[in-house]
Amino acid sequence: MWAGRFAKSLDSKADDFNSSIRFDCKMYKQDILGSIAHAKMLEKQSIISAEDCEKIISGLTEILEDLNNGNLDFDMSCEDIHMFVEAELTKRIGEAGKRLHTARSRNDQVALDIRMYLRDRSEDIIGLLRELIGAITDKAEEGKAAIVPGYTHLQRAQPITFGHHLMAYAQMFLRDISRIKDAVARMNYSPIGSCALAGTTYKTDRFFEAEQLGFSGITQNSIDGVSDRDFCVELMSAFSLIMMHLSRFSEEIILWSSWEFKFVELDDAYTTGSSIMPQKKNSDMAELVRGKTGRVYGDLFALLTTLKGLPLAYNKDMQEDKEAIFDSLETVEMCLDIFAPMIRTMKLIPSNMYKAAQEGFINATDLADYLTKKGLPFRSAYKIVGQIVAECIDKKTVLDSLTLEKYKKHSDIFEEDLYSEISLEACVEKRISEGGTSVASVEKQIALVRKELEI
């Protein structure tokens, strides 16, 4: 490609080391569409002839079709996808192919291709997130009245519904969708026309090119246009947060599936056995998702570290962006893809949830609220209930079973109605505050999420 300046060709190991085609070939479609838009712009600006433009466009269209249909293999001896497409075009149409690279550089080409590729692939991730939120809302509906302990510090805290707990995850994944959309909106500016770094002496029309390729505008500074990879970092941060959410969810699913909890049972199709212990049913998928979270964080840090200290503008170090972002994207995609059906097929075991909710004095706050509503200051009520809990622990009983007579010894405010006030059902049903755990509130949360996603 750079024949002229060089007397010798590249050492074959150096050639392999330098080349990126084995991973940037994923962007062939974006590269070709970018080149078609570029040819049209060159023709419109009278930089190339209409005849050459037509040859270039039909040549590129055929290459795209051949690659799509598997009729053309990537030539791995080319340094990257940009060189492969150009070389293949020139092989097919001759001289005109050599005119395509006027008023552009691989530096702005690669910056363009990654933006277009990530823009397309972000849609796939959003689709999978929608799918997952759909599975969560359906499962939440199924468990909207299933009472389960809510935890803080992994200690039983207050009764909640399982549906309420699941809907917390729906909110996290909704934020993930909006974060990806934000990142894409900021990324959607075309760098093409920045050329190597300084712009060009040709009378190009960058707006025309940007518009054809569906960008909202053009990058304002050519040096920034070719050296910016912020959008990769932003997307990888968004992917890291998705993984963090999936990992927290995985951890809970693993706990819930254990014999110690047994609130849920994962479908056989999403669990594995042990090669030695016949009784085992392991939550491998959830564990693997939790494990892969580290890998996605690693990809983010790899790119941040690569970019740190890079002088402007393009440096070859930046070729390292692609493997990191592709790996992060593909890992998130794989995890989301397995997670939605795993949630859909997960069996709830409400009887075990209820049994756990009956232990651990999770209605103690409601007992204190009972006294407070009858006029006692909350701090005094809190202290009395603390003493009653201590007595129950001592006598190996629970708040619901202690006699009224015993209650009266702690305070004569207690009456028979305390029992209905502290039943698990009442504890849940009374929590009608917006976003709270009552069945009505959870139903509202489900409806709002479905409306937002139009599902």
Give contact residues for ligand ARG (rule: CB under 6 A): 20, 24, 80, 106-107, 110, 314, 316, 318-319
Nearer to ligand ARG, 132 or 318 (CB): 318
Q: Kindly tell me which of 110 and 399 has the beta carbon lying closer to ligand ARG.
A: 110
Asked whether the beta carbons of 196 and 226 are under 8 A apart, the reply is yes
Distance separating the N- and C-terminal Cα atoms of the chain: 52
Question: Cα–Cα distance between 337 and 132 in angstroms, integer?
Answer: 8
Question: The tokens of 322 are what?
Answer: 């692609």
User: Which of 80, 86 has the CB closer to ligand ARG?
Assistant: 80
The minimum distance between CB 305 and ligand ARG, in angstroms, equals 17
d(CA 175, CA 339): 17
Is omega for the bond preceding 313 within 30 degrees of 0, making it cis? yes
| Complex with ligand ARG: residue 314 or 361, whichever CB lies closer | 314
Residue with tokens 């651990």: 360
Catalytic entry in 46, 153, 275, 433: 153
CA pair distance 325, 110, nearest whole angstrom: 14
Which CB atom, from 170 or from 325, has the smaller least distance to ligand ARG?
325
Q: Is 153 a catalytic residue?
A: yes
Strand partners of residue 148: 160
Q: Choose among 321, 348, 39, 56: nearest CA to 208.
A: 39
Strands (E), 56-154: 147-152
Closer by beta carbon to ligand ARG, 107 or else 283: 107
Query: Which tokens hold the place of 53?
Result: 């433009």
- State residue 200 phi and psi, 5-degree precision: -145, 160
**Shortest distance, position 75 Cβ to ligand ARG, whole Å:** 15
For residue 357, the SS3 value is helix
Nearer to ligand ARG, 107 or 161 (CB): 107
Residue 104 beta carbon to ligand ARG: minimum distance, rounded to whole angstroms: 11
Q: What is the spatial distance between Cα 157 and Cα 173, in angstroms, rounded to a whole number?
A: 25
Q: Which amino acid is residue 177, in one-letter code?
A: I
What is the maximal distance between C-alpha atoms in the chain?
Answer: 102
CB of 5 to ligand ARG, least distance (A): 13
CB 439 within 8 A of CB 429: yes
Contacts for 366 with CB less than 8 Å, ≥ 6 apart = 421, 422, 426, 427, 430
Tokens 């085609």 appear where?
21
Closest approach of ligand ARG to the CB of residue 17, in Å:
12
CB of 318 to ligand ARG, least distance (A): 5
Residue among 274, 380, 401, 420 flagged as catalytic: 274
Q: Are 87 and 35 in contact (CB under 8 A)?
A: no
Nearest approach in angstroms of CB 444 to ligand ARG is: 49
**For residues 64 and 32, is the Cβ–Cβ distance under 8 A?**
yes
Active site residues: 153, 274
